Amino acid sequence: MDAYEVRGRLDVIEEEEAADEDAFVMVQDSPDVFCGDCGVLTVRGAAAHVSHALVTLAAGAQQMKDQLSKSRSKLSEKIIEMENFASNLEEIFITVEENFGRQEQNLEQHYNEVLQTLSQRNEARAAALDEQKNDKLERLYGQLLRCGQTLDASKELIESAQEVHRRRDKRAFLQAVMPIMKRVEQFAREEVDLKLGASLDFDVPTTDLSDVRQMMESINVLPAPSAPVMNPQIANSATETSLHVCWSLFSDDTVEFYELYWRLISDDCTMETPQEVCQLKVKETHCTVSDLLPNAQYELWVTATNTTGISPASERAVYMTVPSPPVIKARQCVSSLDAALIRWDSGNTNPVESYTLEFQEASADGESTATESIVAIPSCECLVQLQSWKRYIIHIRAVNIGGPSDRSPPLHISTTGTFFHLLEDTAHPSLSLSADGLTMFYLDEDLPISHMTFSDNTFNRCVAVLGDLVPIRGQYYWEMEVDESAEFRVGVAYEDTQRNSYLGGNNTSWCMRHILTPSRHKYEFLHNGWTPDIRITVQPLRIGVFLDYGRGILSFYNAALRQHLYTFSCQFLHYVHPCFALDNPGALTLCTGLTAPPYVAQP
C-alpha cells in the first residue's frame, strides 16, 4: 500500500463520516441520547444503558468528532513518515545505482587493463617466435647455399678430372694429372659438415605474467585512494606558531590514515638546500601543526593511505602563520587634546600585510569599554582622532593572510594636553639630551668640529633641536623651564626650516629669544630676522607657548605670573614643530602634557 492509497482511504473515511453524520441526523427523531460506553444512539431511560455514561447528542457528537480527528491525525503522521521513507528509498536507489555504476566502471577498467596487458604479452611473444623462425631459416638457407656451392665445386672438379682422364696424350695427361689429383684428394679429404645449422625445435620463453596475475588479484581488492584536496587556509585559524590545516577527500575511498607534509618556504635565495620536510600521521581530515615560525609561509601537502597503498600527493597548499605582535614606540608617540599619532615597530623581520590599531577608553573601575579599531594601516604609524579629557589604552596588531597577531603591549594616552618629544636626529651635535628626552644641555666643553657628526637633518649652526607635534591644525600648549643665565630661543618652525640658519632669522621660524647683557636682560620676538622692541621687567623662568592654527597665533607667556608677553599673528602654511635652541652653555627643560590654562585659550 503506498502513500497515495493510504490518503485515498482517509478521504473515504471523511466521506463516510460525513455520510454518517447525515445518518445521525436522520435518526435523530427517536433516540435523544448517546451512550458513551456502547457508542450507540439510544433513548433516555433505555434499560440496556441504565448504568452507562449517557450524554446528549450534541456532546456525544462532539466526543466522537474529537476521537475521530485524533485518529485521523495519527494516520496523517504515519503517512508523512512513510512518504519520507519512500523518498529516502528513492535516494538510496539512486545511490545504489551510482555506486553500482562506479564499481562497474572500475571493474571494466581493471579488466580492460588486464586484457590489454595480456594482448601485449601475446604480441611480444609472437614477435619473439617469429624472430626465432627467421633466424633459423636464415641459417639453414645459408647452409644450403654452402652445400650447393660445395657440390658445384666438386662437380666441377670431377668433370675436369674426367676430362683429364679422357685425354689421349700421355704426356699432357701426366702433366695435368698431378695437380688435379692433389685437388681431388684434398677435396675428398675435407670433411663435410653435414650437421644442421639450426635446430628444428623452437625455444619458447616463459612469459612473465606475474603482473597480470597481480592485476587480476587486485580487481577484487580495494583501490588505493585518490589524492586528497588541500583546503585553503581558514581565516583566523592560525597562531604565531601553529597552523590549523584542513583537507578533503572527494571520493568514497576508504582511508586508514593520512600523512601531512610541510616545509618552510624561505624567501632567502641564497639557501641552496631546501628546508627539510616534516611529516605527521593523522586520522582525521584536519590537524594542527605547531612549533612553527611566526609570519612565515609553509608549503603543505597530504597523502591518503589504505591497505592497498598510498594515494598520490595532493596539490601543495601554502599557509601562513600569524605575525608576532608589534611593539609601540612610546617615546615617538605624540598626542594633543583631540588626537594622537602612534608609531610602532613591526615586530617581524618580514613584511606583514597591514596593521590594526585598537583603542578603548580606560575606565576608572576596570570595567571593559567598547574597543574601536582602525584597520588596514599600511605603515608603522597612524593618526587617530580621540575625544578630549579622556584616558585611552591603545594596542596594535600586525595582520597577514594568516590573520591578526596578538595585541602589542598597551600604550596609555591622556587627551588632557599636548604630549610630545624632541626629534633627536635634528639636534645639533653640541646639544645633549637627558635620558627622558625632556631636558637639553649645551655643555661648556669645546668639542672639536671633527668629533661632531652632522647629517642633513641636524642643525649645524644654531645649537637647536625640533620637537614633534600631532599633525593636526588644532591648539597646543607647552611650557619650558630655563636657567636664569640661559640664552635661549624657543618657538616654532616648519619641519624643513633651514638647518644652517638661526631660529627666528628666517621666515620659516618664529621664536622668543633671551639675550643676557652685562646690564640687563633683553628679549626679542624673532621672525624673518625682525623683532618688535619690547622690554620685560620680570625675567620669565617658566615660559608658556600657545599655538593655535585656527586663529593663526603663537603666544608666549610668563607662566608663573600668567603674564602675556607677546603674540605672533601668522597663518601657518604647513604644520609647524616646536623648536628650542641655546645660544650659550645652559640648560632648558621641556614640560609637556599640560592643559592650556584658561587665560591662554580664551580668545
282 or 515: CB nearest other proteins: 515
User: DSSP state, 419?
Assistant: B
Q: What is the spatial distance between Cα 537 and Cα 393, in angstroms, rounded to a whole number?
A: 45
- The answer to whether 574 and 557 are in contact (CB under 8 A) is no
For other proteins, the closer CB: 319 or 557: 557
Nearer to other proteins, 433 or 536 (CB): 536
Cβ–Cβ < 8 Å for 258, 302 = yes
Nearer to other proteins, 298 or 557 (CB): 557
- Considering the complex, what minimum distance in angstroms separates the CB of residue 338 from other proteins? 25
Which of 253, 483 has the CB closer to other proteins? 483
Q: Which is nearer to other proteins, 347 or 540 (CB)?
A: 540
* Euclidean distance between CA atoms 465 and 446, whole angstroms: 19
All cell numbers assigned to 182? 692433389
CB of 551 to other proteins, least distance (A): 13
The alpha helices in 345-477, defined as continuous H runs, are none
For the bound state, the minimum distance from the C-beta of residue 488 to other proteins, rounded and expressed in Å, comes to: 19
- Least separation in angstroms between residue 358's CB and other proteins is 42
The three-class DSSP label of residue 57 is helix
Q: Which is nearer to other proteins, 31 or 597 (CB)?
A: 597
Task: Give the residue among 339, 125, 305 at the shortest CA–CA distance from 212.
Answer: 125
Query: Could you tell me where the DSSP H helices lie in 167-191?
Result: 170-189
Residues that bind other proteins (CB under 8 A): 520, 532-538, 558, 561-566, 598-599, 602
How do 381-385 and 33-35 pair as beta strands? unpaired
CB of 579 to other proteins, least distance (A): 23
Q: Is 552 left (phi over 0), alpha (psi -120 to 50) or beta?
A: left
**Cell numbers at 146, concatenated:** 654452402
3-state secondary structure 461-522: CCCEEEECCCCCCCEEEEEEEECCCCCEEEEEEECCCCCCCCCCCCCCEEEEEEEECCCCEE
Cβ proximity to other proteins: between 553 and 591 the closer is: 553
State the minimum distance, in angstroms, from the CB of residue 589 to other proteins. Answer: 22
CB 287 within 8 A of CB 245: yes
Question: Cα(412)–Cα(403) distance, rounded to whole angstroms?
Answer: 25
State in angstroms the smallest separation of the CB of 536 from other proteins: 6
Compute the Cα dihedral for 310, 313, 317, 318 and give only its sign.
positive
Q: Based on CB atoms, which residue is closest to other proteins, 498 or 558? A: 558
Q: How far apart are CA 102 and CA 110, in angstroms?
A: 12
For the chain, the C-alpha Rg in angstroms (whole number) is 55
Q: Which is nearer to other proteins, 155 or 520 (CB)?
A: 520
CA atoms of 545 and 600, how far apart (whole Å): 9
State the minimum distance, in angstroms, from the CB of residue 567 to other proteins: 9
Q: Cβ closer to other proteins: 385 or 537?
A: 537
Shortest distance (Å) from residue 470 CB to other proteins:
27
What's the min distance (Å) between Cβ of 479 and other proteins? 17
- Distance (Å, rounded) from C-alpha 423 to C-alpha 440? 12
CB distance 514 to 522 below 8 Å: yes
- In whole angstroms, how close is the CB of 556 to other proteins at the nearest point? 10
Contacts of 409 (CB under 8 A, 6+ apart): 325, 327, 328, 395
Question: Considering beta carbons, is residue 227 or 511 the nearer one to other proteins?
Answer: 511
Least Å distance between CB 569 and other proteins?
A: 11
Given the complex with other proteins, which of 276 and 533 has the nearer CB atom? 533
- Pick the closer one to other proteins by CB: 307 or 537: 537
CA dihedral 320, 324, 329, 335 (to 10 degrees): 70
Shortest CA distance to 466 belongs to which of 577, 544, 361? 577
C-alpha pair distances (Å), 547 with each of 468, 473, 506, 524, 570:
13, 10, 19, 18, 11
Residue 530 is classified by DSSP as B
| Minimum distance, C-beta of residue 534 to other proteins, in the bound complex (Å) | 5
Instruction: Supply φ then ψ for residue 368, to 5 degrees.
Output: -85, 135
In whole angstroms, the minimum distance from the beta carbon of 521 to other proteins comes to 8
